[in-house]
Structure 1
Amino acid sequence: MSRASTAVVLVLLAGLGIGVTYLVQHISAPRIAAEQRLIDSRNLLDLLPVERYDNQPLEQPLALENTELANSTLLGGYLATKTGQPSAVLLRSQTLGYEGAIELLIAIDANGKLLGVKTLKQSETPGLGGKIANWPNAWFQLFVGKSRTEPADAGWALKKDQGQFDQLAGATITSRAVINAIHDALRYFDERRQQLIGSSPP
């Protein structure tokens, strides 16, 4: 076989290989995307009790992107419904901790009570503020059932600041940042309940 023929065969084989690779990627892309959505869904929705919703909350986003609050920024949110009625909102909140940005997911029921908090991203000191990344998280359980008014505004602080909450050991700045972000989210929900879920306070 001449060099020219060999070169043509190699080019054809390379083209065939590229074509097959493209075809496999094209066929696999929807399945990969669906699996990634499922992973994202589990990561976000494991904060919300399954009996609280029967829709796909991640497919019902709220228009909250980059909403500046007193101590944090809302990056987005989702609406959970049960039998067609709003049951909870999930708010993605970002605040500044000791080492950098902390991104939280905050679940609030339709009555304005906190269902749970989960850390999505953080870069706090391992073993100290970094404990907020633990899931499930015993410290976050301190806030479940609280609302904007229970406790009153002054209570939304560390005990060392005359508030009602313990801090993570050795992580005062992280603890303050998270408490303030949770309070911000509850306040935002309370003030915009009609806009978020279409109902007034009970």
Structure 2
Amino acid sequence: MNHPISKNALLLALVALICVSILTLIQQLTAPRIAEQRLANRMALLHDVLPAAAEQQLLDDCISITAPEWLGRNSPQLIFRWRQQGAVSAFVVETTAPDGYSGTIDLMVAITPDGTVLAARTLTHQETPGLGDKIELRKSDWMHSFANQTVHEANLRRWAVRKDGGDFDQFTGATITPRAVVNAIKRTALFIQQHPELAEQPANCEAF
């Protein structure tokens, strides 16, 4: 009596196994191409936020850091270092705003050792189209407002959106997104300032 049921169960298991095998094969075939695309995107952004530096130099002088209280993630983040005459002139930090309106917002920020933001760009986000997505340069030039702005203890109150008494514009109908980005960049600049040992740590990123 149970023979048809057993046969159907076996058939379903076989179909599931075939599906899993196909998905695994697709993943293996596409993984190198995805990795190449990610590297290309990263190098383009490195050039965008720090055009004076050679991208390969930055890739070769990279450290992996886990600092969720500063950089917003419990997983390692990458920090690229640009040296001139042996001394670090700027860091390019991959950092995260964990409190965006629709989730995390990943950023890339170029910062000098004294806490001056040279440039900031959005890596990934899930913010609302037409509102929060103005953190993308193709939608708005708002991210340019961070260029050449310095973070230090005396001006921390200025590092906020205008609604909170700061210097940075919020978006019409969307305050949470810009607030999250401003706070993330401020924390990242303070992290660089307060951890000078980052300049001397041995490079430990995986080969690019």
Given the two structures, how large is their TM-score scaled by the length of structure 2?
0.69
Is the partner of 1:195 in helix, strand or coil?
A: helix
2:43 aligned residue: 42
Q: Which runs of 5+ in 1 are unaligned?
A: 1-28
Any residues of structure 2 matched to 1:65-104 within 5 Å, and which?
A: 65=66, 67-69=67-69, 72-73=72-73, 75-95=77-97, 96-104=99-107
Q: Partner letter of residue 93 of structure 1?
A: T
Q: 1 CA distance for matches of 2:84 and 2:54?
A: 5
* Residues 158, 165 of structure 1: 8 Å contact kept: yes
State the partner residue of 1:108. 111
**What's the CA shift string for 1:107-144, capped at 9, x where partnerless?**
10233210111111001000110121224852111111
1:117-156 mapped onto 2 (5 Å cutoff): 117-135=120-138, 138-149=141-152, 152-156=155-159
Q: Please identify the structure whose Cα radius of gyration is greater.
A: 1
Q: How far 1:153 sits from its partner (Å)?
A: 1.1
The reply to whether residue 59 of structure 1 matches residue 75 of structure 2 is no
Name the structure, 1 or 2, with higher relative contact order (CA <8 Å, separation 6+).
2
Number of the residue aligned with 1:174: 177
Matched to 2:87, the amino acid is Q
Normalising by the residue count of structure 1, what TM-score does the alignment of the two structures yield? 0.71
**Aligned-pair distance for 1:72?**
2.6
Q: Could you tell me which residue of structure 2 aligns to residue 195 of structure 1? A: 197
User: RMSD value over aligned CA atoms?
Assistant: 3.0
Partner of 1:114: helix, strand, or coil?
Answer: strand
Label 1:171 to 1:105 Cα distance change in 2 as closer, same or farther (>3 A): same
Gapped regions of structure 2 (runs ≥ 5) = 1-30, 201-208
